[in-house]
Every structure is written in C-alpha cells, then in structure tokens.
Amino acid sequence: MSHRISRADRRAGSNNAANPNRNVCALAAARAFGVGDVQRYLHTDSDLFRAIRSKYSVRSVKSSCASTVGAARADMARLATERRDLIAFVVIVQGHVLVINRDGQTIVDTAPRQRDRRAIRRIMGVYRQSIFN
C-alpha cells in the first residue's frame, strides 16, 4: 500500500520558511527556467515538471545516462550534441533536484558536492517547444 504525503504535511516539513508552499531546491530549479511563479506548490517532481511544461517540453532521458550524477555528465553532453532542441537537464536524486546544462555542468544545485556520487532517480531533458505544437 502506497503512503501519500498530504500538501499540509509537505508545507509543515518545507525547507522554505519564507514560502512553505515551495521547496527551496525545486524553486531554484523552476526559476532557472523562468517558471518559478507558475505553480502555487513546488514540492514534488510532478509539481516541478508541471511548471516547466508551461514553457518547455520535458521528456525522460534516464535510459541514456549513467546511474550517478557525476558519471552521467558525459552522457548528458553527448545527448545534447545529438539533439539541438535540448536546452538542459533536470536531475532528481533522493530528496533533491539539480539543473545541468548541455555541457554537463551544474547550473542549479542548492546542496553542491565536490564529487557527486548521488544516485539518480530521474533525468528529464528539457526541450524547446515546437512552434507546431
């Protein structure tokens, strides 16, 4: 049986005292894409991707990348050379989110590491939306 955490519990446990509706790292990631004010709530992966999808297309690229952040950087740079419409990556690790650019360099990380061996839960590629959508 799955245990779902309520919005009230997420607000109570928020790491953002100024606005408990938004987690600090999810808000920083959303702001990197210019969508920090699109969603009322920014606590979960779904909240963040819903905000990003208001302006961009988002698709999983996890099967194309290594399993840790440090090892996946070269894979992300390779994917970016293959897809010109890919602008950045959103990487979800346990309890945290990062934004990594086309070159595999970190743009946003509110808990940076010298050697990043965090296991990747999800990697989503962020793409420019087609004018034909």
| Rounded Cα distance, 19 and 16, in Å | 6
- Tokens 């894979």 map to which residue? 75
pLDDT in tens, 55-81: 999 999 999 999 999 999 999 999 999
| Rounded Cα distance, 46 and 42, in Å | 8
Is the Cα torsion angle 74, 120, 101, 128 positive or negative in sign?
Answer: positive
| Rounded Cα distance, 6 and 45, in Å | 15
pLDDT in tens, 79-133: 999 999 999 999 999 999 999 999 999 999 999 998 999 999 999 999 998 655 4
Write the DSSP assignment of 11-35 as a string of letters.
Answer: HHT-S-SS-TTB-HHHHHHHHHTT-
